[in-house]
Each structure stands twice: as C-alpha cells, then as structure tokens.
Amino acid sequence: MPYEPVIGLEIHCQLKTKSKMFCRCDNNAEGKEPNTVTCPVCMGHPGTLPVANRQALEWTYLLGLALGCEIAPQFNFERKQYFYPDLPKAYQITSQTTPPIVGGYLELDADGFRSPTSKDAQMSDFGANEKKRFPIEHIHLEEDAGKLIHAGDYSLVDLNRAGTPLLEVVTNPCFSTPAEAKAFMQELRLILRYLDISDADMEKGHLRCDANVSVRPVGQKELGKKTEVKNMNSFVAIEKALEYEIKRQTEILAEGGKVTQETRGWDEAKQKTFSQRSKEQAHDYRYFPEPDLPPIVIDGNNKSQMTNHKQSFDLEELKTQIPELPAEKRGRYQKDFGMNEKDAEIFVGDMDLAEYFESAVNLSQRSTLGNSLTLNVGKKIVSIILTDVLGYLNANSQHIADFKIKPQDLAKLAEKLELGEISSKIGKDVFAKMADSGKSATEIMEKEGIHQVSDKGELEKIIAEVISANPEQVEQYRHTVGANGDSPILNFFVGQVMKASHGQANPAMVNEILKKML
C-alpha cells in the first residue's frame, strides 16, 4: 500500500529588538559572559513585574499584515507552566492559546520544491510557474527560556537568552514533502529579513523549527499519528530529518505496526531521529491569562490598544511600513528586466545584491538616454552583475557589501558598453581593474591609456587596410550582402578591425563605416 507524508511546522523567529520582551536587558547577548545580560525580571525573581516591549508588539502585527493574516481583536499574554532549570519563573509568558495573528498563508512557486538534490522533489506534481498556498494556523508572541550547557556529569545554566522575544509561526498540516517544508522556511526567512525584524539565521538559532510529521495510506482523509522532530540547525538538517522520519514511520505502518506519538530529536552525527519524550510524559501546562500584563485590544479604528495602557499603535500606519516583499520583487524583475526565474532568485535572495542592483539602475543616467537605451543599460547591468560581479566576488571570497565598484560606476560602465564606447573585451579588462582599485571606468581608462578610437578618419584608415588585405572576403561580402548592408561575413571584418585596433575601435562606428566602405 502506498503511503503519503503530512508535515506541519512550528517555527520560532527571534526578533532583533533592542531590549528583551519584558525587561530592559540588552536583547543581543552574543559573545557575552553567561548570566551577565540579566536582571531580576528575566531571572524570574518573585515580586518583579513585566512590561511588554512595544517594538516586539508592533513587529508581530507587521509580520501578520505582511503575510495577509487576520489580526485578532484581542490577545492575552498567558502563563505556560512547567518546571525546567532554564526557566526560573517556572512559567513562560506566551500567547499561544489566544494568539494575536490568525490565518493567512504563504504562496510559493512550486518550481522551488524541485531542488535537484531532493529526491522528494519528484513527488511534487506541478507544472512550470504553478503556485501552491501553505496556510498559517496562527502566529503568537512569547519569550524565550535560558540555555543549559551540559558539561559532563553536571549542567550549567545561562540566562542571557531568557526573555528574548520570539514569534512562533504555526502552520497547518499542509506540506506533502520535506522540500515544501524547507521552501516555506526559506521564504519566511527572506520575509523576516525584508521586514528587518529578525536576522533569521538558522545556524545562530535566530530561526528554529519543530517539524510535526505523520504518514497515512494514500487516499485516507484522516491524519495519521504524528511525531514532533526537534534540534535541526540548518535547512539541510530539516530536509534530512523529515526524510528519515517519513521513511521510519512508513516502514512501521507497512509492517502493520503503530507510530507512537512522541517528541523526537535529530541526531546530526548519526543522521537519525531518536525518541525524547512520549505523549504520556507530555505536560499539562495549565495556561491562564498573565495577571501582570493587560490584554492587547484592537479597537474599531484599527488601532491597537493595550487596555490600561497609554501606548497604542495604528495598523494602517504599520501597513505603509511593509516594503516590497520577495514575491513582488521576483515578479517585477522578471517583467521589467526580462530576468528568468533563476536569475531573479539570485537577486531577490540576497537583499544587499538587490539593493546594489537597484541603485545602479537608478543611477544610470535616465535623463540623458532614450527610453529603450535605458532599458538596455538596465539589462546590461543585470548581465554584468550576474557574470562579472558575482564571478569576481566568488573568486575573491567577497560579499557584495565589500565590493569596491560603486553602483554609479558600474552603471557608467554599463552605459559605455551599451553605447558602444568600449568593446566588451576592453570592458572586461576595465571591470577587473575597477574591482581591484575602486576607481571609475573613466579614471582607469585615462590612467591605462585605454582610449576608444572614435575618430572617423582614423577608423576609415584602419578599415581601408583591412579591406585591401582581404580581397576574397570582399568578393564574398558583395555576393551575400542584404538590403541593410548585413552579411554573414560582416563579423569577420569587424573582428579584423578590432584586432588591428587592439580592441580599441568603437564597435558601433566600425559597423557603420564597414558597411559603407564595403
């Protein structure tokens, strides 16, 4: 009997607010001594009072609005109670049962699931450009716990992370392959970065995910018994852990067994999941509304109000803060610059590169160039970035942020190439020197004595020599020439002229004069 997997994700995103969720401690404790970024509030001392971080609340709504979710008319902070050494209060403040954000979805390009390395990708049965929607169940805001450092036969507690604001995005059980789940995580990461609310770095734990997996016979409507897999530290790990778990559960069912509902950990070294906690040991958290924090209410004017609180914020205003999101950017790049999906993704996936590209395009001298030429310069900038810039960065292990050529200088180079002021061969040379020195194309060309031969008389002299040196080809040209002076052999002459001029002849002028003289 064929089986199919069902996956649902619980994704934790660490917000990059200045201070922690309920106290004034620095929210960035990276590299700090353990327990030095703490205070009585985040250490859970009795009698302390939490104050909600306004920025974290705003960003919660910002993400909800960006994903087209519904804003709940009211949400409560609540206590989720359990005992663990990294949680000195013995409860976590969350909003899981009365979340601020509900519904919504992420729409992904089905092509994205077909990464060539993924076996499962072949299971997705989509045509080109098809989209699939992955519904979001809710998004809630909560605080993180501290960290345990296991040191042999004892453990140490570090509370620097305690009280860090987290947004948890809970999806429906809507993914049918590990590749889909991974694509969702990657898109969410990009959106968090575009909104500038989280570094969303998985390796650093800013973005974490618990993956719920079940398997059922194909055709069965009811969901199978699920396991929840934790401790995956990369996108590859998510995919591998899900693949492993699907295989494990499928084998159990195929042999007539039953899957045990439990929490399982991912062992990166063994590339296996292992049982951590069974359902019988599951907690009863006894949620109840946090008495020290007022409910947050959205009033009729779409303003969010914290009852008993002076602060309020305007959701309509927040909407205007949403930047162009990755999906829109992809569409625009394809439409305006004729990029294919793969190229558009290279730009959209790297915000710094997209920004560099856009400032180069904006700085190319629109006013002095005709419309169609401006478009060509835009496309030229795209191709220079994709081949020369990325090639250079790669070869020199640099990131675009370290790149020496300023966007306006790249735009100028693209213009020179497009206007035929320099040949593509010289363009490559000039580019390499620009990238090494940070100087402009004009500066390089002056310094190196590279000049474009655009002098008509000088070009006519070179061309006359080339023509008299190749009588046979001239015959051929005369037999094959079309109405506008074109002929398959014309390029031969262009090549000869470029060679004779050491690549410095203005290609546009060479074409024109050649046609006339031939």
Least CB distance from residue 9 to ligand ADP, whole Å? 6
Q: Of 152-191, which residues contact ligand ADP (CB under 6 A)?
A: 170-173
| Total residues binding ligand ADP (CB under 6 A) | 15
Among 189, 226, 329, 439, contact with ligand ADP (rule: CB under 6 A): 226
Six token digits for residue 21: 């969720």
Residue 408 interface partner, choices ligand ADP, Zn ion, none, CB cut-off 5-8 Å depending on type: none
How far, in Å, CA of 453 to CA of 449, rounded? 12
How far, in Å, CA of 45 to CA of 162, rounded? 13
How far, in Å, CA of 422 to CA of 425, rounded? 8
8 binds ligand ADP (CB under 6 A): yes
How far, in Å, CA of 508 to CA of 273, rounded? 64
CA distances 322 to 141, 191, 195, 392, 462, Å, are 19, 10, 7, 33, 58
CA distances 349 to 197, 341, 359, Å, are 17, 12, 17
Answer whether 266's CB lies under 8 Å from 236's CB. no
Amino acid letter for position 129 = N
> Which one of 7-15, 183-191, 231-239, 289-297 is the stretch in contact with ligand ADP (CB under 6 A)?
7-15
Least CB distance from residue 173 to ligand ADP, whole Å? 4
51 binds Zn ion (CB under 5 A): no
Nearest to 462 by CA among 430, 421, 411, 509: 509
Given the complex with ligand ADP, which of 37 and 211 has the nearer CB atom?
211
Least CB distance from residue 279 to Zn ion, whole Å? 35
Least CB distance from residue 243 to ligand ADP, whole Å? 15
> Which one of 16-24, 145-153, 207-215, 391-399 is the stretch in contact with ligand ADP (CB under 6 A)?
207-215
23 binds Zn ion (CB under 5 A): yes
334 binds ligand ADP (CB under 6 A): no
460 binds ligand ADP (CB under 6 A): no
162 binds Zn ion (CB under 5 A): no
How far, in Å, CA of 104 to CA of 440, rounded? 48
How far, in Å, CA of 164 to CA of 145, rounded? 8
Answer whether 91's CB lies under 8 Å from 81's CB. yes
Beta-carbon contacts of 425 under 8 Å, excluding residues fewer than 6 positions away, are 498, 503
Residue 4 interface partner, choices ligand ADP, Zn ion, none, CB cut-off 5-8 Å depending on type: none
Given the complex with ligand ADP, which of 9 and 444 has the nearer CB atom?
9
295 binds ligand ADP (CB under 6 A): no
Among 19, 28, 39, 199, contact with Zn ion (rule: CB under 5 A): 39
Question: For the residues of 426-470, what is the DSSP string, one character each?
Answer: HHHHHHHHHHHH---HHHHHHHTT---B--HHHHHHHHHHHHHH-
363 binds Zn ion (CB under 5 A): no
> Which one of 2-10, 28-36, 177-185, 465-473 is the stretch in contact with ligand ADP (CB under 6 A)?
2-10
Least CB distance from residue 177 to ligand ADP, whole Å? 13
Among 13, 42, 200, 381, contact with Zn ion (rule: CB under 5 A): 42
Q: Which residues sit at the interface with ligand ADP, rule CB under 6 A?
A: 6-10, 170-173, 212-214, 223-224, 226
